[in-house]
Chain A
Amino acid sequence: MVTPIVIIAAALAMAFLLPVLEKAGKGLIKTLSLLVLAGFFAASLSWVAQILQTGAIISQTAGFKAPVSINLSVSMMEATGLAVIYLVALLSGAFQIFVKKAVWQGKELSLYFALILGLSGLVMTRDLFNLFVFMEITSISLYGLLVSGRDERRFEGGFKYMIAGGLSSAFYLIGVAFLYRETGQLNLDIIVAQSGQANLYLPLLLLTIGILIELKPFPANGWALDVYESADPGTGAVISAMNTTALILVFMKLMPLLQAFGSGIVYAALIIAGLTFFLANLAGIRQTSGRRMLGYSSLAQTGLILFVLLSPSAGLSEERGLSIIASMLRLDTIEVIALALLINHALAKSALFWLTEFLKKDALHKSSEEGDYRGNRGWLIPAGMAVLALTALPPFPGFWAKWAVITSFGAAGNIGGIAVILIGSLLEVYYLFRWFIRTQAHGEDGGDVIAPQVPEDFAPEAAPAPAGLTIKPAWQIFAPALSIIILTSLGLAWAFLSLSGGQELLLLPLAALALYALFDLIALPFAVKNILAMAGLGGYAYLIYGELNNMTLIFGAVFIAGSLVQLFLLFNKRDKRSGLLPFLVMMILSLGNLLVFKSSLGFFFSWEMMTVSSFFLVIRGRQASRASLRYIMFSLAGAFMIMYALADGFRGPLTGLVFAIGLLIKMGAIGFHIWLPGAYAEAEDEVSTFLSSVLSKAGLFILFITAGIYGQTFFPGAGNAFLASIDINAILGWIGVITALAGAMMALFQEDIKYTLAYSSMGQIGYMILAFSIQSHLGWVTALYLAVTHLLFKGLLFMAIAGVIMRTGTRLMYQMGGLIKKMPISFISVLLAIIALSGVPPLTGFGGKWLLYSSLMEKGWYLHAGLAMFSSGVAFLYLFRLIHTIFLGQPKTGMFENIKEAPIWGLIPQAIFMMVIMGFSMFPSLLIKPLQAAVEMVYPAAAEGVAWQGSTVLSSLGYWNGSAVMYVTMGVFLIPLAWLMIVNGRIQKVKQFNIVFAAERPYKPETTHYAYNFFSHYQKALGFLVEVRAERFWTMIRKSTDALGGLVRRIYSGNAQTYAFHIIIFVILFHLLAGGTF
């Protein structure tokens, strides 16, 4: 066991000795430095162990007790905090020593140890003046470290830092002076213990301001941004991770004092912290410099931690993992939360700063060189994980801490706090993910991630991604990698604590991610990996089967069996495709977990896991940067709404509506749909089918299991019958039918086949929402029926189309044509799928239509029924266009002469789906009866007059006998066919181009393929319906947010004096907020 004082002494000795020892050899000082740093880290861990046994470690200096001497105290919070600081110090030191050999020499290492000395002192000392001294030691050594670097502007940044640092220490010192005058004491503990003190407002105000300025509060934080931007990334990491952590610990140390004597100051700090978090994130979205952006993120995270610390209700959460950790470490829940946020930020942010070191340049401008690290796992994996951690996504500690905070706020009714955190976080998600996406974008993924992609006429598909920059040698990535590994393990530990107690199953997606990533790493052949994935899914299905019953069983079949079949498609290609299976299996398992969770945290965890994994599937597309950014933004916005509703406990219809909107966003309902086409279309062809046919049902399932919420009426006491009838279901109904119509209409005018299918999925989801909102036996059966059949025919379509795109190398329909001769089996599966989708008897689609209209009529929603019929007509249009322009008409000579049928592995899953479709078409009761059993618990069939008579299903309005329809159809089809074959015995087959029109043979028949702008007349008549309103609306939202961000960041004019002035304004503002007067 080392006493704390030894650390101070050792750091001091190192600072002095290193320049001397440097003469003896560079290797020596580097080794020595690393050893000492490692020792510090070990010491801090040993303190943690000791404190658990004996309580806080207090060490006196100079042989006297406080107040005569200065005492150092390390309690659990300090010990863990120091562990974080020393860990980052060790990694950062190693990074600088090994990777940036040229920059860090003995001089810098000496300064580095002085810095660590200062930081350790800051955390440990209980003496206020001593605190000032350590603050100054920290600052001065940091100024010194700023000198090393390449950016010419670092002196300017450093100068501004000094102005701010000087002012902050001036305020702090005056505060200390006054405090001493009032109390005659400098020891923190003694001051706190002296109750009934005189008015300590002014000293505490100045003291707090001094500390806060170092923590970069709004608006006094412009200098920090300039420092982050211009400093060497390694120094940036030091400031952001180590300095901030230490200062927050200092602030926590002062908090008892503030709470005892200055409630107004606590309030002011709370407001300032909230403002800082929100405004830093707002201004962050306009950044073009990656490091400055990370700087904004640092400001925001610091603000967030302070905000949480100061919020009176933030620690109320009784989340399982949190309670366990708190009792284990003997900390308050709020301290655990703060600690988790600190660790999360320190490790993730320092990792990101180090990673920017490897970027070619620190800019986010549109330029094709940007896609630096596409395909480079060494850079991408830590970067992606760090971004996930910073945006508080599972399984990182930030996620659990944030969940605890939000649920605490919810329990305390602190809606404002939830709003600040969630909206601010969303902004942070936006810029961090945009940065991440940009750094890995394909070279041909042109333009800003915001600008739309317009395919060029007859342009070939983009070439495969270039290998991307590699980091040579690869070990250089060790520092960020290690910090991410540690962060992940901590997050996993928390996850395990939270979910132990019956929900361990929910951790399986993470296990799958790790396992299949391992398979990628050891470079198993793809086929083997795919077989393993299938086996994994099968095993998982076996595991959860026991927990499934009616409704969950149906969705389980959709999620898992549906995916399992589609996995065959992946055998298609021979290359390795690292990363595909890990995320795919993770996504499917997360979906499965949605069926078996047992707590709202379990649900939200699985939901976020699903979002994360699907995001990484979308981003794999070649031109998917725009789509993936939208996808993650909308998904997380929806998730945050869900989080809010969960935290709020569904009090009142408005919360229910928020929850519903969260789900609707995920389902791509009208208004929120703009993420959907891009995500489905720009993902890889083999992945699109999973997203569209499987993933899209997740929201629907949650709708079902939360159905009780949506019956809440908005005007329960209204005398007017119409007003009294408005509930969330009524809103859902209209959203559903309009989504159905809009999806169909938009699908109609796409030239890109995958966009057509994507919009079509949107429309189909609309039908499901509509059917769900009917809230009757038939309605629910319809929704489930649609969900199952949509899986079948949309899977079929996407898989067949994947084969077509693979063979033709284009996604534009009008470039294809006449493929029926080359790809007959694909044609048949598309034909079957479009018959089923459009609802033409005798295939399954008609069952869906029949059920839908019957239930709508029963409900009395006649207008919905009319609109639904209209949209199913429109669907027929785009489906015909799809099959015609691809498979019929004239092929392009030269382009597609030698193409073959899709590979067998693409055809196998199609064949399976076709057989299932045919089976359900022949015997609809096979499908409908289990669905009825599933909804029986909520809506009994007998009560609503749904009955079976043989194979005829009877509703109160009509009847339908699927088998009879099948037989009659076969009869009326086969008899004319037989007749035709008899009378038309000798037919002559002619060549493709044997056509005549206008009494002439066309000179170039291959140019006569009527395909482009197929429904121009429709566009003329009804095109106004599908103008890009939603797109425009969201663009407007983005632009106004951008403009607001631009407005906020304008205050950071770059002028050192303006920054000084900001500090003065901050002081006045703080004083006013704290309730002070002049």
Chain B
Amino acid sequence: MLTSILTKALYTLISFFVILNYSLLLLGTMARVRAKVQGRIGQPVWQPYIDIIKNNARRSGVTHGIMFYLGPVFRLAGGLGTYFFIPVIFGSKIFANFSFSGDVLLVMYFIFFGQLGMALGAGESGHPYSPIGVARGLAQMTAFELPFSLAVIAVAAQYGSFSITEIVAAQQGGWQNWVAFTNPFAMAAGMLAFLGMSMNNPFSIVIAPQEIPIGPPTEMHSSFLGMLQTNRAIFNGAKMVLFMNLFFGGAAHPNIFIALGIMIMKTFLIYLYVVFVGVSFPRFRTEQSIRFFLGVPTLLGLIAVIQQMI
């Protein structure tokens, strides 16, 4: 019993370490890609590391209250939890995480956990911009949730399972078995929803108050901010792993390192797609993005679901 718990803890740590570093590097890389597109040199790829270390090293902090204090904790717990409920590498014990606790529904709903906590923490700061951002973010979230959930339903219906492991298992045996090819409408709906989920352009109005140097990042400073940045990396990684698993066959290989490589490649491409769209389009207003998500992406999702019904 004890050994199994210890082994699990060790595996979890490894999994956590891998995703943290990979995601931080990915963030740095993508920042540079974005800079190149915009004709700048951009930050070094290790800039995220510097930020986190620097923020955590700050000795003093200001808090507005308990909920404010707990906000980042909630946020990071949300990111970590989301990640830990997803199996990263198909068939790997080390990277199976805690995926035995629940299926894709659990992951979908656990995403809310961190968002809620963060929103509450920012809310307690009494800063008017935080609820504005939160209101926008939540509004946009419900909108992209619709095509996303339709896509998930279509996939679950296709394979008769909500279990991520089983969905990945069913996609093994070559790229032609990926959902992206067996159920392209679901993939399309899901990937469009993913644009909203990653809050890049054109759906970045949610974090707009952060860009102008006000709002939660100002209120959330020092180690609070460090925690948020850590979460940003992990949460991003978790989402990309989820989409990889749902639509692109997951990452599977007997050799764990090759499997990791596959994972890195696929998630890199998924993120590149987001950045690609992001640098190509201007920003939507909130109601515009709501209308967008309830338009074509929802339609695609409906087609995918109706396909499964027939």
Interface residues of A (CB under 8 A from B): 818, 820-821, 824, 827, 831, 834-835, 838-841, 846, 849-850, 853-854, 857, 860, 862-863, 865-866, 869-870, 873-874, 876-877, 880-881, 883-884, 888-890, 952, 956-961, 964-965, 968-969, 972-973, 976-977, 979-980, 983-990, 992-999, 1005, 1008-1011, 1014-1015, 1017-1018, 1020-1022
What residues on A are CB-neighbors of B296 within 8 Å? none
Question: Pick the contact of B62 from A959, A988, A993, A1018 — CB < 8 Å?
Answer: A988
What residues on B are CB-neighbors of A968 within 8 Å? 81, 84-85, 98, 101
Chain B interface residue number, banded: 35 or more
Bound complex: CA A984 to CA B223 (Å) = 6
Which of A841, A884, A1008, A1018 is the most central at the interface, judged by chain B CB atoms within 10 Å of its CB? A841
Question: A874 to B142, Cβ gap below 8 A?
Answer: yes
Bound complex: CA A1010 to CA B143 (Å) = 22
What residues on A are CB-neighbors of B199 within 8 Å? none
Given that A831-B120, A839-B109, A888-B120 are contacting pairs, would A983 and B223 also be in contact in the complex, using a CB cutoff of 8 Å?
yes
Given that A840-B110, A853-B162, A1018-B287 are contacting pairs, would A959 and B103 also be in contact in the complex, using a CB cutoff of 8 Å?
yes
Given that A840-B116, A866-B150, A968-B98 are contacting pairs, would A958 and B72 also be in contact in the complex, using a CB cutoff of 8 Å?
no
Bound complex: CA A983 to CA B291 (Å) = 43
Question: Pick the contact of A976 from B61, B80, B219, B291 — CB < 8 Å?
Answer: B80
What residues on A are CB-neighbors of B222 within 8 Å? 984
Show 29 residue pairs from A and B whose CB-CB distance is below 8 angstroms, ordered by the A residue.
A841-B106, A841-B113, A849-B109, A862-B308, A866-B301, A866-B305, A869-B146, A870-B145, A880-B138, A888-B67, A888-B126, A958-B103, A958-B104, A964-B102, A965-B102, A968-B85, A969-B81, A972-B80, A983-B56, A985-B59, A987-B69, A997-B128, A1008-B126, A1009-B128, A1011-B131, A1018-B139, A1018-B290, A1021-B143, A1021-B290
Given that A839-B109, A1017-B286 are contacting pairs, would A986 and B59 also be in contact in the complex, using a CB cutoff of 8 Å?
yes
What residues on B are CB-neighbors of A993 within 8 Å? 126
Residues 251-302 of B at the A interface (beta carbon under 8 Å)? 285-288, 290-291, 294, 301-302
Per-residue CB contact flags for chain B residues 95-117 toward chain A (1 = under 8 Å, else 0) read 00010111111101110110010
Question: A884 to B123, Cβ gap below 8 A?
Answer: yes
A797 to chain B minimum Cβ distance, whole angstroms, is: 15
Question: Pick the contact of B126 from A831, A840, A889, A972 — CB < 8 Å?
Answer: A889
What residues on A are CB-neighbors of B60 within 8 Å? 986-988
Residues 208-230 of B at the A interface (beta carbon under 8 Å)? 214-215, 218-219, 222-224, 226-227
Per-residue CB contact flags for chain B residues 9-51 toward chain A (1 = under 8 Å, else 0) read 0000000000000000000000000000000000000000000
Cβ-Cβ contact count across A and B, 8 Å cutoff: 260
A816 to chain B minimum Cβ distance, whole angstroms, is: 13
Bound complex: CA A64 to CA B102 (Å) = 98
Interface of B, secondary structure class, is helix
Q: Closest A-chain residue to B157, C-beta based?
A: A862
B45 to chain A minimum Cβ distance, whole angstroms, is: 25
Bound complex: CA A835 to CA B116 (Å) = 9
Q: Closest A-chain residue to B230, C-beta based?
A: A976
Q: Closest B-chain residue to A845, C-beta based?
A: B109
What residues on A are CB-neighbors of B163 within 8 Å? 957-959
Question: A873 to B141, Cβ gap below 8 A?
Answer: yes
Q: Closest B-chain residue to A1023, C-beta based?
A: B287
Question: B129 to A846, Cβ gap below 8 A?
Answer: no
Bound complex: CA A870 to CA B144 (Å) = 9
Question: A1014 to B135, Cβ gap below 8 A?
Answer: yes
Question: A1017 to B285, Cβ gap below 8 A?
Answer: yes
B153 to chain A minimum Cβ distance, whole angstroms, is: 5
Question: A820 to B153, Cβ gap below 8 A?
Answer: no
Question: B131 to A857, Cβ gap below 8 A?
Answer: no
Question: A854 to B162, Cβ gap below 8 A?
Answer: yes
A100 to chain B minimum Cβ distance, whole angstroms, is: 65
Bound complex: CA A870 to CA B290 (Å) = 12
Q: Closest A-chain residue to B143, C-beta based?
A: A1021
Check if B161 is an interface residue, CB within 8 A of chain A.
yes
Question: Pick the contact of B223 from A973, A980, A1011 — CB < 8 Å?
Answer: A980
A839 to chain B minimum Cβ distance, whole angstroms, is: 5
What residues on B are CB-neighbors of A818 within 8 Å? 126
A549 to chain B minimum Cβ distance, whole angstroms, is: 32
Question: B109 to A840, Cβ gap below 8 A?
Answer: yes
B208 to chain A minimum Cβ distance, whole angstroms, is: 13
Bound complex: CA A720 to CA B98 (Å) = 47
What residues on A are CB-neighbors of B61 within 8 Å? 984, 986-988
Bound complex: CA A854 to CA B81 (Å) = 22
Q: Closest B-chain residue to A963, C-beta based?
A: B101
Question: Pick the contact of B125 from A869, A957, A983, A995 — CB < 8 Å?
Answer: A995
Question: A873 to B145, Cβ gap below 8 A?
Answer: yes
Check if B90 is an interface residue, CB within 8 A of chain A.
no
Question: B124 to A997, Cβ gap below 8 A?
Answer: no
Bound complex: CA A827 to CA B223 (Å) = 26
Question: B129 to A997, Cβ gap below 8 A?
Answer: yes
B52 to chain A minimum Cβ distance, whole angstroms, is: 11
Bound complex: CA A864 to CA B89 (Å) = 32
Bound complex: CA A854 to CA B105 (Å) = 9
Which 8 pairs of residues, A with B, have the shortest CB-CB distance?
A: A888-B123, A958-B162, A873-B142, A958-B103, A869-B149, A1017-B286, A1021-B287, A1021-B290
Q: Closest A-chain residue to B55, C-beta based?
A: A983
A207 to chain B minimum Cβ distance, whole angstroms, is: 70
Question: B124 to A820, Cβ gap below 8 A?
Answer: yes
Which of A839, A983, A984 is the most central at the interface, judged by chain B CB atoms within 10 Å of its CB? A984
What residues on B are CB-neighbors of A850 within 8 Å? 102, 105-106
Question: A884 to B131, Cβ gap below 8 A?
Answer: yes
Question: B112 to A965, Cβ gap below 8 A?
Answer: no
What residues on B are CB-neighbors of A980 within 8 Å? 69, 72-73, 223-224, 227
Q: Closest B-chain residue to A961, C-beta based?
A: B101
Given contacts A827-B67, A880-B119, A888-B67, 19 further A-B contacts (CB under 8 A): A820-B65, A841-B106, A849-B105, A853-B162, A860-B157, A869-B149, A873-B141, A873-B145, A883-B120, A890-B126, A958-B102, A965-B102, A968-B98, A968-B101, A972-B77, A973-B77, A988-B62, A994-B64, A1018-B286
Bound complex: CA A13 to CA B145 (Å) = 88
Question: A997 to B127, Cβ gap below 8 A?
Answer: yes
Question: Pick the contact of A1022 from B74, B157, B161, B294 — CB < 8 Å?
Answer: B294
What residues on B are CB-neighbors of A881 within 8 Å? 135
Check if B132 is an interface residue, CB within 8 A of chain A.
yes
A968 to chain B minimum Cβ distance, whole angstroms, is: 5
B57 to chain A minimum Cβ distance, whole angstroms, is: 8
Question: B80 to A862, Cβ gap below 8 A?
Answer: no
Question: A976 to B77, Cβ gap below 8 A?
Answer: yes
Bound complex: CA A280 to CA B214 (Å) = 69
Check if B76 is an interface residue, CB within 8 A of chain A.
yes
Check if B207 is an interface residue, CB within 8 A of chain A.
no
Check if B192 is an interface residue, CB within 8 A of chain A.
no
A748 to chain B minimum Cβ distance, whole angstroms, is: 9
What residues on B are CB-neighbors of A969 within 8 Å? 77, 81, 113
What residues on B are CB-neighbors of A824 within 8 Å? 66
Bound complex: CA A957 to CA B153 (Å) = 11
Question: B106 to A965, Cβ gap below 8 A?
Answer: yes
Q: Closest A-chain residue to B131, C-beta based?
A: A1010
Bound complex: CA A910 to CA B63 (Å) = 28
B68 to chain A minimum Cβ distance, whole angstroms, is: 9
What residues on A are CB-neighbors of B179 within 8 Å? none
Question: Pick the contact of B119 from A860, A874, A884 — CB < 8 Å?
Answer: A884
Bound complex: CA A48 to CA B64 (Å) = 82
Check if B188 is an interface residue, CB within 8 A of chain A.
no
Bound complex: CA A987 to CA B224 (Å) = 11
What residues on A are CB-neighbors of B138 within 8 Å? 876-877, 880
What residues on A are CB-neighbors of B223 within 8 Å? 980, 983-984
Bound complex: CA A557 to CA B246 (Å) = 41
Bound complex: CA A850 to CA B102 (Å) = 9
Question: A846 to B109, Cβ gap below 8 A?
Answer: yes
Given that A840-B113, A976-B77 are contacting pairs, would A857 and B162 also be in contact in the complex, using a CB cutoff of 8 Å?
yes
Check if B94 is an interface residue, CB within 8 A of chain A.
no
Check if B6 is an interface residue, CB within 8 A of chain A.
no
Question: A995 to B219, Cβ gap below 8 A?
Answer: yes
